Amino acid sequence: MVETVSAVDCAVQCVAGQNPFLMYFNYFLIGLILISILVLVLIRKKLSIKQSLFVKAVLSTSIILLLLILAFANSHYQTVFHTAHLAALFSAGLFFVVSYIFSPLLMQIGLTKTKDERVEKITKEESVKLSILNPEIIVFVNAEPNAFVVSGYKKIIFISTGLIDLLNEKELRAVIKHELMHLKSSFFNIKRFFSSVRAGTFGLLPIHFEELDILEEIKLDRKMGKETEVLDKAREKL
């Protein structure tokens, strides 16, 4: 005789699981998720940057752990719930892998590349000082001053010709060093993880980790030391 399970019963079984430890751990994760959401909704404006980031990190990590447990601990209940959990995990994992592999390639689409010996020389000198192996530098033709980095299976610095024309050599060196320090930091993979969680919830999780960018900039500016003043002058020109 085939056992029939209602949608409500299945949802309860999926959360509770078949193991007492998993059952209580599931409830613990759900509690963390609910508390984190309440904090972000009710008192977010009162939180510091680090506190806000911590709450968002707890929320995202709890969601991904709950998805893992629900996807693999309840194989007996092959229902829409189980399928949804697997689909969410697959989406999160796929986003992480695709972002890691293809981001450096996608950012180059539509760019008109050129060469600048001064930029290449500065990049090589500063990368040696920071112990960064073979970072790729791409100078692209654009009147708008811009510099950014992309990190994945390849680490690339993008610098526009507009920025090169605008800055003197000292300022340009400070900007390139700052971008190299971005490549050396671990923030890229942290942001990629949290973005993957959002992808796993199919964009339904309205969380943006802008605090990570702010904290990273503060951290790197401190590491720049006296060169921060030069970097600030370069920023004023933008």
User: Could you tell me the residue ranges of all domains in the chain?
Assistant: 7-105, 106-189+217-237
Three-class SS state of 202: coil
CATH code, 106-189+217-237: 3.30.2010.10
Give the pLDDT confidence score for residue 6 in this predicted structure. 47
What pairing do the DSSP bridges indicate for beta strands 136-140 and 147-151?
unpaired
Of 4-8, 111-115, 117-121, 184-188, which gets the smallest average pLDDT? 4-8
Question: Does residue 72 surpass a pLDDT of 70?
Answer: no
**Strand arrangement, sheet containing 113-114:** 113-114, 136-140, 155-160, 147-151
Residue 76 tokens, joined: 């007996």
Distance from C-alpha of 187 to C-alpha of 213, rounded to nearest angstrom: 8
Measured CA to CA in angstroms, residue 192 lies from 35, 66, 98, 101 at distances of 24, 19, 10, 12
Distance from C-alpha of 56 to C-alpha of 37, rounded to nearest angstrom: 9
Across 144-155, average pLDDT? 86
Question: Does residue 190 surpass a pLDDT of 80?
Answer: no
Question: Does residue 238 surpass a pLDDT of 90?
Answer: no
**Does the CA dihedral 221-61-148-235 come out positive or negative?**
negative
Terminal-to-terminal C-alpha distance of the chain: 73
Distance from C-alpha of 160 to C-alpha of 149, rounded to nearest angstrom: 12
Give the pLDDT confidence score for residue 115 in this predicted structure. 92
Confidence band of 103 (pLDDT split at 50, 70, 90): confident
Question: Does residue 77 surpass a pLDDT of 80?
Answer: no
Give the pLDDT confidence score for residue 225 in this predicted structure. 81
Whole-number average pLDDT of the chain: 79
Question: Does residue 205 surpass a pLDDT of 80?
Answer: no
What's the farthest any 2 CA atoms get from each other in the chain?
A: 80
Distance from C-alpha of 217 to C-alpha of 214, rounded to nearest angstrom: 5
